[in-house]
A and B are shown apart, each in its own frame.
Chain A
Amino acid sequence: MVGSMTTVPDGLVAVVKHDCPTCTLVEPVLRQLAGAGPLTVVSQDDPDFPGGLPVVDDRELEVSWRLRIETVPTLLRLAGGTETGRVEGWLRGAWEAFTGVRDLGDGLPEHRPGCGSRSVEWGVEEELDRRYGGRVLAARRVELADLEDDVEAVFARGWSDGLPCVPPTEERVLRMLAGTRRAPDEVVAVVPPDLVECTVEKVAVNAVLAGCLPEHLPVVLAAVEAACRDEFALHGVLATTWSAGPVLVVGGPVTARLRMNSGVNVLGQGDRANATIGRALQLVVRNVGGGRPGEVDRATLGNPGKVGWCLAEAEDGRRPFPLLSEARGVPGSALTVFAGSGLVPVLDQASRTPESLARTLALVLRTVGHPKAALAMDALVVLSPEHGRVFRDAGWDRERLLAELDPLLVLQPDELRRGSMGIAEGMPAGLDDRPLPKFRPGGLLLAYAGGPAGMFSAVVPGWVSGATGSSPVTVPIEEA
């Protein structure tokens, strides 16, 4: 609480603004009420309004903020400093019942809705929260020099991934935090490589940097939680010289609510939610975890998705199988984080049978990591609608497709042995004398997304899989 707190006395209180037609309409009603008993009128924009009545000048909006006014006029009653009830807008019957005064507003219409309170205007509410709410934010405050450009200041301090960021002001962070019901000081995860406890607030600061909207925050929080689970092995994903980085596959009602892209150019640019959610996770890794390229991030090449890679699964009514997250046991809005290392587009414009198309997929999947590598990496297949149709029309669901792929993904000893095919690379001695599966059980993930036209899908190769590497993680997303 701020020291010089403005308060209003107990009893009937009316909060109005001159700029509101309903407030000017009820001006005579307020005079009527003032004549009938004690009434405190709080005026948001004009201390001379309503005429002829003493008012509490609330142009600073402190009283309105403390009373949590959303609409003017609001009529409310305080007892012992606590509100016992309120009426919003003008409704004769409600006002009469609330005040106990009859025949209010003779000649006025029965009902007029109110207007928005000045205290909840865009940007104003956060400023009032900051001014009167006491400090709820714990992050260090970094004061800029007078001549410092705020966008350049973010670069100068090393907070950017190379692209311009939205400067994380207190107002923006407070607005971002409104996107979740979770408390700002709640610890979301311990972030590698520095193993720092990361609060909801720190995630929100980085979500602001990334350009997220408040409604994106629950997805970012889920992404941070998933990526920092032990089995994902974020430290290794980051530190490896391989190209891997976190890929987020989001599914469920949240994707439509956030207008996430699951269609045309789903793995490309152009959608704010997709772009900023993926980026926010990577900024948390950079800024909170301390995972910066050239330091702990030792990637030889990296991949363009390391700026941020987030896609939504399509729910177009033509899915060949349920959502990836659902298949992994998490219904509703959920996301899966996968250690992906780039994109291999798959062309097959001729296959009209699932058997034929499965063989194409298998041939490409065999190249993941190295065509002679078995049991090394997981892979994510993003199946497009036109490819999905081939499987759906044939009645192949996820389990059937995976079962049919299994025998096509067995590498024979002469395909995997070191030195065979004139290639030194291959499976080491002891593992080169028997057929081996390309993927470990459960190591092949199938998602469904993409534009409606094009018989193309994509394979996203992984990183070292399983207990010694990374396993995909699926978590639920807080619903709105």
Chain B
Amino acid sequence: MGRVLLDPTSELRPAARALTPRPLSLEGLTVGLLDISKSRGDVVVDELEALLRADGVRTLRYRKPTFARPAPVDLRHEIATHCEVVIEALAD
């Protein structure tokens, strides 16, 4: 069992954080495409970008310096400020 903390709150809200609601449509939104620098991740992202642009969706490309570490804070901040949606190419 992991470490346990006691909840200091009124417990009126659930302990686990809820996911941000998913958008029903990509119309008018900016989609970030994140290549994590894993092999052939760029291939997936290129394909997705072509499909999204064909649908008229605005896209922005991002790349992590290495798949072995979490994305740098600046990169996360940039994605969060410019995009409403992000798609990450995770695996080989």
Interface of A toward B, CB cutoff 8 Å: 137, 139-146, 150, 153-154, 157, 159, 167-170, 173, 191, 194, 196, 202, 205-206, 209, 283, 287-290
Which single residue of chain A is at the shortest CB-CB distance from B1? A143
Count chain A CB atoms within 10 A of each CB in B1, B4, B12, B17 and give the residue with the most: B4
B-chain residues with CB within 8 Å of residue A140 when the two chains form the complex: 6-7, 11, 15
Residues 1-23 of B at the A interface (beta carbon under 8 Å): 1-12, 15, 17
Q: Are A170 and B4 in contact (CB under 8 A)?
A: yes
Nearest-CB distance from A221 to chain B (Å)? Answer: 15
A-chain residues with CB within 8 Å of residue B17 when the two chains form the complex: 157
Q: Are B8 and A169 in contact (CB under 8 A)?
A: no
Q: What is the number of contacts between chain A and chain B, taking CB atoms within 8 Å?
A: 68
CA A208 – CA B4 in complex, angstroms? 14
Q: Are A167 and B9 in contact (CB under 8 A)?
A: no
B-chain residues with CB within 8 Å of residue A137 when the two chains form the complex: 6
B-chain residues with CB within 8 Å of residue A191 when the two chains form the complex: 10
Q: Are A150 and B5 in contact (CB under 8 A)?
A: yes
CA A157 – CA B15 in complex, angstroms? 8
Count chain A CB atoms within 10 A of each CB in B1, B8, B9, B15 and give the residue with the most: B8
Partner among A141, A143, A194, A209 whose Cβ is within 8 Å of the Cβ of B8: A209
Nearest-CB distance from A295 to chain B (Å)? Answer: 12
Q: Can you report 8 residue pairs joining A to B where beta carbons are below 8 Å apart?
A: A142-B4, A144-B2, A167-B5, A168-B5, A169-B6, A196-B10, A205-B8, A287-B10
Nearest-CB distance from B30 to chain A (Å)? Answer: 26
Known: A144-B3, A167-B5, A209-B8. 11 other contacts (CB 8 A): A139-B11, A140-B7, A142-B5, A143-B2, A145-B2, A150-B3, A159-B9, A170-B4, A191-B10, A288-B10, A290-B9
B-chain residues with CB within 8 Å of residue A168 when the two chains form the complex: 5-6, 8
CA A290 – CA B10 in complex, angstroms? 8
B-chain residues with CB within 8 Å of residue A287 when the two chains form the complex: 8-10
Partner among B1, B7, B12 whose Cβ is within 8 Å of the Cβ of A142: B7
Count chain B CB atoms within 10 A of each CB in A142, A288, A290 and give the residue with the most: A142
CA A145 – CA B5 in complex, angstroms? 11
CA A141 – CA B6 in complex, angstroms? 5
Nearest-CB distance from A189 to chain B (Å)? Answer: 13
CA A169 – CA B7 in complex, angstroms? 9
Nearest-CB distance from B4 to chain A (Å)? Answer: 5
CA A289 – CA B3 in complex, angstroms? 26
CA A140 – CA B5 in complex, angstroms? 9
- The interface bits of chain B over 10-45 (1 if a CB of A lies within 8 angstroms of the residue's CB, else 0) are 111001010000000000000000000000000000
A-chain residues with CB within 8 Å of residue B7 when the two chains form the complex: 139-142, 205
B-chain residues with CB within 8 Å of residue A288 when the two chains form the complex: 8-10
Partner among B4, B5, B8 whose Cβ is within 8 Å of the Cβ of A202: B8
CA A140 – CA B8 in complex, angstroms? 8
CA A205 – CA B15 in complex, angstroms? 16
Which single residue of chain A is at the shortest CB-CB distance from B9? A287
CA A225 – CA B15 in complex, angstroms? 27
Q: Are B8 and A144 in contact (CB under 8 A)?
A: no
